[in-house]
Amino acid sequence: MSNTLIDRAAGRRLDGAATPTHPITTRPRVHARFRPWLLARRGLLHLLLIALALTMLFPFFWTVSASLKGNDAVLATPPQLLPTSLQWDNYAAVAQTIPLGRFFVNSLVVAVATTALQLLTCSMAAYAFARVRFRGRGPLFLVYLATLMVPAQVTLTPLFILMRLFGLTDTYAGLILPGVTSAFGVFLLRQFFMTIPRELEEAAFLDGASHWTVYARIILPLARSGLAALTIFSFMGSWNSFLWPLLVTSDQNLMTLPLGLSTLQGQYSTAWNQLMAGTVLSIIPIIIVYILAQRHFVEGLALSGIKA
């Protein structure tokens, strides 16, 4: 052992060949994150993202600020970004001017029912397109996706005629039924279902399970992230819907929150501070739903291949 150490210290190999005794110099490697040009590019990217985020958040900031001002201060020139005095009574005034509680209940009933039925119909259709083999599945799915290119405004008149023929105007059913299906929802869940290994359902089929059993006990539990993403999209779309409730109902007892808030706009004057206060209140349920499903929402978009 001592001879070996001596040979290595003297710069000789064990086979007798001489080895260079001078140290081998190597070029120091600079880590990628310490390169100046890379740091500058990342800095510019972060500045751009911050600017875009502030641009998107400014309308929300202005809404909250205007809801705490007097009506004259909202229309003041130059605009006041921050209220000089906080007027919390604007929120109480909204509830006194319109039946805010009733509008909240109507919006909640319509949004929850629409979301639940849309999850049911979209998940079943997505399972058929993703896991069931049948003739013409691909072309039929492409035709179904083509409906995404049809503007929603084009279908308003036929839908209204149908609701009128069935006597569903001024009813909860008339508000809910047109939103129980979604081509985008089917596409989103189909992409997610295709990421689930087929070995799981094949093992279930060998044990005698049917498609309904596989759908309910294997696919749906594994697709919670995709279902959460669709829940947020569906709930937001139904909660913020304005044009369809405007057409299908004229009864104040059935008005949803966006439609009810529009009644604050008068023919000759508008209480903008109260309107902004009502808008702030209408945003709260959407924020709560997003916070509760945020983790599953991001995971669902990532696994389904949809870019947000």
For residues 47 and 152, membership in a common domain is answered with no
Domain annotation covers residue 18: no
Structural domain count, the chain: 2
Residue 172 maps to which CATH number? 1.10.3720.10
Question: 85-104 in b/e burial notation, b at 16+ Cβ within 10 A?
Answer: eebeebbebbeeebbbeebb
Count CA atoms closer than 13 A to 21's CA, side-chain side.
Answer: 6
pLDDT at 307: 47
For residues 202 and 152, membership in a common domain is answered with yes
For residues 147 and 267, membership in a common domain is answered with yes
For residues 143 and 270, membership in a common domain is answered with yes
Domain annotation covers residue 13: no
Domain annotation covers residue 71: no
Note the pLDDT tens digit of each residue in 18-29.
445 555 555 555
pLDDT at 124: 94
For residues 105 and 56, membership in a common domain is answered with no
Among 65, 83, 118, the domain boundary falls at: 65
Structural domain for 51, as ranges: 32-65
Instruction: Please give the mean pLDDT across all residues of the chain.
Output: 83
Among 1-5, 78-82, 114-118, 190-194, the minimum mean pLDDT is found in 1-5
Higher local confidence (pLDDT), 121 or 18: 121
Domain annotation covers residue 16: no
Domain annotation covers residue 8: no
Domain annotation covers residue 87: no
Among 65, 81, 112, the domain boundary falls at: 65
For residues 57 and 174, membership in a common domain is answered with no
Note the pLDDT tens digit of each residue in 219-243.
998 888 889 889 988 999 999 999 9
For residues 51 and 156, membership in a common domain is answered with no
pTM value is 0.76
| Other C-beta atoms lying within 10 Å of the C-beta of residue 250 | 12
Among 8, 42, 65, the domain boundary falls at: 65
Look up residue 16 and give its amino acid. Answer: G
d(CA 158, CA 223): 34
